[in-house]
Amino acid sequence: MRDAISHASKAFEDSGSAFHKHFAGAHKVHLTDVSFSDNAKYTIGLAVKDIASQLGLFDHEITKRLTGEMYWLEESEDLVIIFAVPEIDADMLVEIPRDHWWFKDADKATQ
């Protein structure tokens, strides 16, 4: 799973134009609308620790930023979580493969 998720150290200088240039067709998603596999949750935790370590911050300072922007990439069905990192004037991202996240409405459909 860790290999399947892009390293959190991918930085974009400008979250707006750089993100849309690399991820055309992305749809904004709210954290409350999705669920993650246990493996994805673990890997997101590792990414948070990695980003915090690189910046000399505490994990909780990065975790607060998880409520930022998330996008569903329709073509690949992957989910991208963007962490705002003003300390380095960039954004960092974690890409979650489609098998490790789903819309919560899908949970209800399978119950």
Distance CA 23, CA 5 (A): 15
Residue 6 lies in a domain: no
The number of distinct structural domains making up the chain is 1
Residue 24 lies in a domain: yes
Q: Could you give the C-alpha distances from 63 to 39, 51, 109, in angstroms and in order?
A: 17, 10, 30
Residue 4 lies in a domain: no
Residue 5 lies in a domain: no
DSSP conformation letters of 47-81 = HHHHHHHHHT--HHHHHGGGGS-EEEETTTTEEEE
**Chain segment 48-66, per-residue pLDDT in tens:** 898 889 888 898 888 877 6
**Segments of the chain with pLDDT less than 70:** 1-23, 66-68, 106-111
Residue 79 is predicted with a pLDDT of 92
Domain that holds residue 94: 11-109
